[in-house]
A and B are shown apart, each in its own frame.
Chain A
Amino acid sequence: MSLRLSTAPHVHNPVTTQRLMICVIIALLPCTAVGIYAFGLPALILVAVSCVSAVVFELLWQVIAHQEVRIKDCSALVTGLILGLNLPAAAPWWVAVIGSGFAILIVKQLFGGLGDNFLNPAMAARAVLLASWPVHMTHYVAPTFFAGTLGFDAVSTATLLVTKSAALQDLFLGNIPGTIGEVSKIAILAGFLFLLVTKTVSWRIPVVMVGSVALFSWAFGGDPLMAVLSGGVLFGAVFMATDYVTSPMTPWGQVIYAFMIGLIVTLIRQFGSYPEGVTYGILLMNICTPLIDRFLPRHIYGHVKTEGKKEAKQA
């Protein structure tokens, strides 16, 4: 009889990287469904192209670079899905392909693959697309809800951040112009609830980030509720700021990170030339994450002054 020798621990939590990624995908399903329902077939095609191309780029890289093929961990699928949901429904399909390629090849794989990228791949890709094809990336259409047509006869509109008016009810249900994923706040909250229940993410980053946006909008004289519900704040807080790889690992680090995102988002919205600041807020704080992880002091057991030490000194 031959026995295996291994070091402890001999048991593991059943949660694996793949399971966490699948949880994120499930949490994104309500947003995806509402987005496709709101914007019709073009949205479906865009999301599908984005997902497929992200996985294909990952596969290609890993094959060409003679790396172990790890597309089964679903991380590329998550990137593709998030990127797809970050595009306006009217964007052409090749924008999704270029975005996925940039996210997977440049942002993720060139820096060492899963876990080693310092920026959120989907966020960075969105920023690049926004800078390169501003017209396509800001051509928002009002939701059609499959009303008669599947084409783009829908009226082009500015986002709420420009018009600054919408009924709260419409904001919640998704009857507003915007990117595919961010329109329905209820769908985003349902996803957040799922992530919390499955313990995929902690409440800290989303709650602190949203709170921070509300606080600073109020401080700068805006309407906190409107600020939180419009644009990509909620979607960004739940699905993008919480990206494990690019957010701090310690609880207090996460609080600082999320709080600062809220500040940057509000500063860009109030004083910048862009109507939306979520992308840049998250990207800027992604860059600060290693610093936060490195320099935030931690209480390590036995390194604080204890009663025993004090007494020993007196003695």
Chain B
Amino acid sequence: MQKLTFRRGIHPLHGAHEGKLPTRNMPIEDYVSDSVTLIMSMNIGAPAVPCVKKGDQVKVGQVIGQASGFMSVPVHASISGEVTAVEQIPYLGPAPVMAVSIKNDFSDTWVDDLKPLGNVERVDPKLVIPAIRDAGIVGMGGASFPTHVKLTFREGAYCDTIIVNGAECETHLTADHRLMIENSERIVDGLRAVMRALNVEKGVIAIEDNKPEAIAAMEKAATGREGVRVQPMVTKYPQGGEKQLIEAVTGRQVPSGGLPIDVHVVVLNVGTCAAIADAVIDGKPLISRVTTVTGCVREPKNLRLRIGTIAEDAIGKCGGFSETPGKVFFGGAMTGLCLPNISVPTAKSTNGIVAFNEKESRSKDESPCIRCGRCVAACPIGLNPYQIKVAADAGNFELARKLHVNDCILCGSCAYMCPARRWLTPSFKFAKDKLAAEAKAKAAAAKAEQKGGKAQ
């Protein structure tokens, strides 16, 4: 079959096989730690509100944090045992987050009110999206957008294609790869459940061609399933970027500032699909996920971690560090988020824990831009990164906006290619955040003015 792709893009760590070699043949191992710490803000939108207190006994799957509004999902206990703390903890961002810690009693008792809906081909389509919401499912590819929100369309919008994102274009990660090999049926079940819920006829499972085993396994699982097909993709970063994948598979471009549904597409990560199948078929909430633990650890592995596992425990399960780490991050090397220390817990979107040794972690100094154009040739969006960088560094965010910085997906391709090691992506993130804050302040001011006008 013809392999599809998008324009431009890069091949990060090409010679090193994207850092995936140590784990690509490692089967998924279950791992349950002594304790977990579940943060309440595991989704984009409003954080969940803790509904347990210190000393409570909780069972696996019990709601410990309630959703607070539409853009919010509940958090469930991922192990059974005693709640040891409900408190603010420092996390990856600047602000501390609310978290519930549980000490494992290793009885692994589940709550007894699970509501399995059974076979996805016979389930009442109306029950699927509520089940997804109640199971606390968010986008597991890294964005952690609440899945039920993604599947609830505004008036007049419709979806004709669901793309399952099995590209896994990030470096070092093989969690999705292994999931596709080992749980292929579940992924197709999850896809079918959503297709039926939204009355969509086309389901496309898109996988980069550096994962032939996953393509074969998914093709086998998709055989005989209505409307489902597997689409091999060219191995290129960021193939798994939502916008790039949509363009590659359907030829449509999500309009600037818009959503995939504007071009009638919904993209779901393979992990999300498997979680949806668990929620619909077994009624089980999202309490575990596959995470690749790799880099300078003794035995790199793919672990099925309970949500909230402390990074240190997961690394310990992999034999600990093989050398002194200089940097540890969640996710792949192109977009991963650095951990301040290794006592940070994983979340629903943690697809990888990667440790870099001292040498790999050394930061490079910026040198002058030589205008070589490698950033322009790399940008999957078609921006001129060097121009935006000049504007952003000068504090001219308005100019950066005019140069379409808001269309930047922060994939890091330009910064990866830059021979002068310029910090392009960080500058763009800063500019985007600034612009978003400005727009928010403006909207708030306009609202206040309107209110004031009405009062008079």
Contacts and interface: CB of A to CB of B under 8 A. Distances in A.
A10 B356 contact: yes
Contact of A5 (B324, B340, B425): B340
A302 B253 contact: yes
Contacts of B377: 251
Contacts, number: 176
Contacts of B376: 249-250
B97 interface: no
12 contacts: A7-B429, A8-B333, A8-B425, A10-B336, A70-B368, A249-B372, A301-B247, A302-B381, A304-B253, A306-B255, A308-B258, A308-B264
Given A3-B340, A306-B255, 4 more contacts: A8-B333, A13-B12, A19-B419, A300-B407
A75 to B, nearest CB: 8
A250 B370 contact: no
A309 interface: yes
B37 to A, nearest CB: 18
Contact of B416 (A9, A300, A315): A9
B13 interface: yes
A4 to B, nearest CB: 5
Contacts of B415: 9, 12
Contact of B363 (A6, A293, A307): A6
Given A1-B342, A9-B425, A299 B369 contact: no
A137 to B, nearest CB: 29
B107 interface: no
Contacts of B361: 4, 6, 10
Given A301-B381, A302-B254, A308-B252, A12 B336 contact: no
A4 B419 contact: no
Interface size class of A (residues with CB under 8 A): 35 or more
Contact of B338 (A3, A16, A293, A298): A3
Interface string A245-261: 11111110010000000
Give the residue among B339, B354, B370 with the most A Cβ atoms within 10 A: B370
Contacts of B71: none
Given A4-B338, A301-B382, A245 B156 contact: no
B367 interface: yes
A250 to B, nearest CB: 6
A257 to B, nearest CB: 12
B243 interface: yes
A7 B327 contact: no
Given A16-B421, A312-B262, A70 B252 contact: no
Interface in B311-360: 324-329, 331, 333-342, 354, 356, 360
Interface of B: 10, 12-13, 156, 171, 243, 247, 252-258, 262-264, 324-329, 331, 333-342, 354, 356, 360-361, 363-364, 367-373, 376-377, 380-384, 386-387, 404, 407, 410, 412, 415-421, 423, 425-426, 429
Kindly list the 5 A-B residue pairs having the minimum CB-CB distance in the complex, ordered from nearest. A9-B412, A249-B373, A308-B263, A302-B256, A244-B372
- The DSSP consensus for interface residues of chain A is loop
A301 B407 contact: yes
A223 interface: no
A304 B382 CA distance: 12
Contact of B334 (A9, A15, A250, A312): A9
Interface stretch (A79-87, A108-116, A141-149, A151-159): A108-116
Given A249-B371, A308-B264, A300 B382 contact: yes
A249 B383 CA distance: 11
Contacts of A244: 370-373
B335 A250 contact: no
A120 B407 CA distance: 33
Contacts of B418: 12-13
B368 A115 contact: yes
B255 A12 contact: no
A113 B258 contact: no
Contacts of B419: 13, 15-17, 19-20
Nearest to B369: A115
Nearest to A298: B382
B276 to A, nearest CB: 25
A64 interface: no
Interface in A279-315: 293, 298-304, 306-309, 312, 315
A167 interface: no
Given A3-B328, A6-B327, A9-B334, A114 B370 contact: yes
B407 A3 contact: no
A249 B372 CA distance: 7
A3 B337 CA distance: 12
A215 B253 CA distance: 39
A262 to B, nearest CB: 20
A116 B376 CA distance: 18
A245 to B, nearest CB: 5
Give the residue among A11, A301, A309, A312 with the most B Cβ atoms within 10 A: A301
Contacts of A304: 253
Nearest to A309: B255
A284 B134 CA distance: 66
Contacts of A16: 419-421
Contacts of A8: 329, 331, 333-337, 410, 412, 425
A215 B78 CA distance: 72
B370 A17 contact: yes
Contacts of A9: 12, 333-335, 412, 415-416, 425
